[in-house]
Structure 1
Amino acid sequence: MNDSVAWRHITPKVEAINHRIRELEWEPARRNNFVAYTPEVGTPYVHLDGERFLMMSGYGYVGLNGDPRVLEAAKAAVDTYGTGTPGVRALAGTVPLHEELEGEIAKFFGREGALVFSSGYAANVGTIGALVGAGDTIFLDKLDHASIVDGAQLSGAKLTRFRHNDPKHLDSRLAAADKSGTLLVIVDSVYSMDGDIAPLPELREVCDRHGALLMVDEAHALGTIGATGRGIEEHFNYEVKADIKVGTLSKAVPSNGGYLCGSEAFLQYLKRLARPFLFSAALNPAAVGAALETIRILDREPWRVTHAQTESARFRSIVQEAGFDTGLSQTAVVPLIVGSDENAWDFATASRKAGVIGLPVMTPAVEKGRARLRIAITAAHSKDDVDAGAEAFITAARQLRLIGG
């Protein structure tokens, strides 16, 4: 690091992070973050240093990454529109394919319209900043995604947290709030680290009683919950709706980008006030083409959702019976919670030696003592893949004495 006076406050922070990495990755075989795996397209397998591994920590919930139809759609988009867009959406960046994707997303979710952002992160930050500011109050679940937290902090609104999935605590927070400005409650539909589901009907009732808007992030809900993968509203049989629905095109959908669903009037407002939309380059054609085809296939092939739901439930049952703590998981996201950061790193390393990739998540992404491997079961995983993965994790954990047996 540069040792000039200008760097004096930054250098200790950089050194601390690098020291922590060296503590966990003290030999090449222990490298578990930022590893360049080569995917075996169309399968849940990856290659690294000449070896083949079963990937159990990737997304692609509906198993369409590498699907020939999606690949062809991406190539066709490039052939028609090129590899990039000539500007932001408000100027020269919009192409017909953007509007086609927005129409398909709106149709899929039964909403009046949709808006596509350059990422799910941008969708959250931009939407929150356009909705609220000074004089308003945002209420966030304790475990909301970082993009929601960052959007709330950047908005200038007052930020209040409530206990995870606790409508009663939210109720008390709202009751004590200044009602002179906009009240905005934001939750994840499915929580990315724990795989549990927000209690939407109860949250809706509390929000309505206090005159608050309810926004849900469907990042890990699209393709995983609801009979046909349409997310939290379908999961609760459309008993209630969220006021604002956002999500990503990089989890179930094997692409990039984010989206928001809403009324045409609200979308026109967002187009001009959501700064990450207004001032970011438009989503590239290949990503748009891939996302569009994926949404259409998912609409026609809901069996993909059923398969992922069935196999994730079976995987969860197997590992729980072996002694793993899977938290409150109800979905395709299944944490294998093993305690310390060091335990998670050891576990990931041992699992890879057994031929399976399970990637560690540690503090501060999860609270201290709750480090884990975050497993994601997808439609690409066969029954045999799930069995092999579960067996490898159980064997590795027993060798490290992380579980009994």
Structure 2
Amino acid sequence: MFEKFFEIIEKKLQQLKDQQLYRSIIDMETAEGMKITIKGRSYINFASNDYLGLSKHPLVKKSAQKAIELFGAGSGAARLLSGGTLIHKELEKLICKFKDSEASLVLNSGYTANSCLIPAIADEDDLILSDELNHASIIDGCRLSRAKKLIYRHKDLQHLIRLIKDTPCNGKKIIITDTVFSMDGDIAPIREIYELCKSEEALLYIDDAHGTGILGEGHGTLKHFGLSADNFVIQMGTLSKAVGCFGAFVCGTDILINWFINSARGFIFSTALPSSVVASSYASLKIIMEDKTLIKKLWENTQRVMNTIKTLKLSTTDTQTPIIPILFENIEDAMRASNILNNSGIYAPVIKPPTVRTPRIRISISAGHTEEDIERLNKALINLYQQPHQA
């Protein structure tokens, strides 16, 4: 019986390999700034979400070390037992100030947040409307809820309006969207969706994972669009991308956060984040709030690369962020391009289906990249353009 099971799995894995869709883990051996070593070779890392380079900031690392001395390496329990510290509470207070929100709650990851928060707010009489390109964690959170789910075409406001107005609903309506779409780099029409939620008396749940730290002078997408954190808005964000640490958070009203504390299974039944992670996140957020030079450098680096992309007329998306995809017609061309970049010392692996529909190399720019790093990438892109089977 067991042998048959493993035979089936082995055949499925071979099918993935035949289709060039097989995934394997690649671990770094060393990391210094944006330079990494993999299998003995040195690369400049253009595959990281560390948009501001804060994971290596001396103050961020020092804060983590100090917290370990005070509270140890692990938290040892869930937050509702003995896993929390005063540092957790201080971080939540800072997040409220950062996001101009009434209350906040720290969670263990963005995936945990979406998969447990969405079911906590959506009952069987409710209606969820979700962008078709939302992150997998949002998709899973919607599936775990008992609400009716409708998918609207990517950033298609007219489709969204038609669905929300024409679909009967005995409960509340909830629109859920990423703010920055992680594989395309484009930004959701948050202002229009915000106004639609107001007129339809719907909740707005935004995943600001890739907007926090880069948009709105670092404060995120609401500030980018000049919008306030009204009580119908639920903001989820991560501490693992531009913040450079680990974990996630949700912001909303006091009542909402208290409800999550009492109903979000991913919070209730998870060991709390270690104090070292929380302390480093606190230090990193303070830097984002008080020093805008890193954000400025991030956008300068991004513009330099985008200028090259446009000059070479490489195929890309309608990106508006430091996420710059280069699109390919098939996996073979994408793999070939990735190898050309690797040979130039640029680490930028291929993103394959089913993660995305169109194979791509997803280049992520960081303030941690030096002028020399950006110049090396641009030269590698020129080399890529000059090769056969160009992007």
Question: What TM-score results when the alignment is normalised by the length of structure 2?
Answer: 0.95
Q: Using the alignment, how far apart are the partners of 1:279 and 1:77 within structure 2?
A: 23
User: Which of 357, 366, 379 is the aligned partner of 1:378?
Assistant: 366
Q: Using the alignment, how far apart are the partners of 1:139 and 1:46 within structure 2?
A: 41
2:29–2:39 Cα contact (<8 Å) kept: no
User: Which of 130, 138, 143 is the aligned partner of 1:140?
Assistant: 130
Q: Corresponding residue for 1:221?
A: 211
Q: Corresponding residue for 1:313?
A: 303
Q: Corresponding residue for 1:199?
A: 189
Q: Corresponding residue for 2:222?
A: 233
1:347–1:400 Cα contact (<8 Å) kept: no
Q: Corresponding residue for 1:37?
A: 28
Matched residue type, 2:224 = H
TM-fit CA distance, 1:32: 8.1
Q: Corresponding residue for 1:401?
A: 389
TM-fit CA distance, 1:350: 2.0
2:312–2:385 Cα contact (<8 Å) kept: no
TM-fit CA distance, 1:237: 2.3
Q: How does 1:251-400 map to 2 (within 5 A)?
A: 251-367=241-357, 370-400=358-388
Q: Corresponding residue for 2:150?
A: 160
Structure 1 residues 388-397 or 79-88, which shifts more? Answer: 388-397
Q: Deviations over 1:261-315 (max 9, x none)?
A: 1122211111001110011110112211111110011111111112112221221
SS at 1:339 equivalent: coil
Matched residue type, 2:57 = D
Structure 2 CA distance for partners of 1:134 and 1:40, relative to 1, 3 Å: same
Structure 1 residue 21 corresponds to structure 2 residue 11: no
2:30–2:38 Cα contact (<8 Å) kept: no
TM-fit CA distance, 1:338: 1.5
Structure 2 CA distance for partners of 1:39 and 1:108, relative to 1, 3 Å: farther
TM-fit CA distance, 1:371: 0.8
Q: Using the alignment, how far apart are the partners of 2:18 and 2:28 within structure 1?
A: 21
Q: Using the alignment, how far apart are the partners of 1:144 and 1:378 within structure 2?
A: 23
> What is the percentage of aligned positions where both structures have the same residue?
30
Q: Deviations over 1:92-134 (max 9, x none)?
A: 1111111111111111111112100011111111210110121
Structure 2 CA distance for partners of 1:39 and 1:308, relative to 1, 3 Å: farther
1:170–1:206 Cα contact (<8 Å) kept: no
Question: What TM-score results when the alignment is normalised by the length of structure 1?
Answer: 0.92
Q: Using the alignment, how far apart are the partners of 1:240 and 1:100 within structure 2?
A: 20
Structure 1 gap segments, 5+ residues each: 26-30
Structure 2 CA distance for partners of 1:122 and 1:79, relative to 1, 3 Å: same
Matched residue type, 1:359 = P
TM-fit CA distance, 1:53: 0.7
SS at 2:363 equivalent: strand
Q: Corresponding residue for 1:250?
A: 240
User: Which of 115, 124, 132 is the aligned partner of 1:125?
Assistant: 115
Matched residue type, 1:135 = D
Q: Using the alignment, how far apart are the partners of 2:96 and 2:208 within structure 1?
A: 14
Q: Corresponding residue for 1:56?
A: 46
Q: Using the alignment, how far apart are the partners of 2:282 and 2:197 within structure 1?
A: 33
TM-fit CA distance, 1:23: 5.6
1:200–1:240 Cα contact (<8 Å) kept: no
SS at 1:65 equivalent: helix
Q: Using the alignment, how far apart are the partners of 1:173 and 1:99 within structure 2?
A: 40
User: Which of 91, 94, 97 is the aligned partner of 2:84?
Assistant: 94
Structure 2 CA distance for partners of 1:279 and 1:166, relative to 1, 3 Å: same
RMSD over equivalenced CA pairs, Å: 1.9
* Residue-pair matches, total: 390
Matched residue type, 2:363 = I
Q: Using the alignment, how far apart are the partners of 2:55 and 2:83 within structure 1?
A: 26
Q: Deviations over 1:328-380 (max 9, x none)?
A: 1000101011121222222212211111111211111111xx21001110110
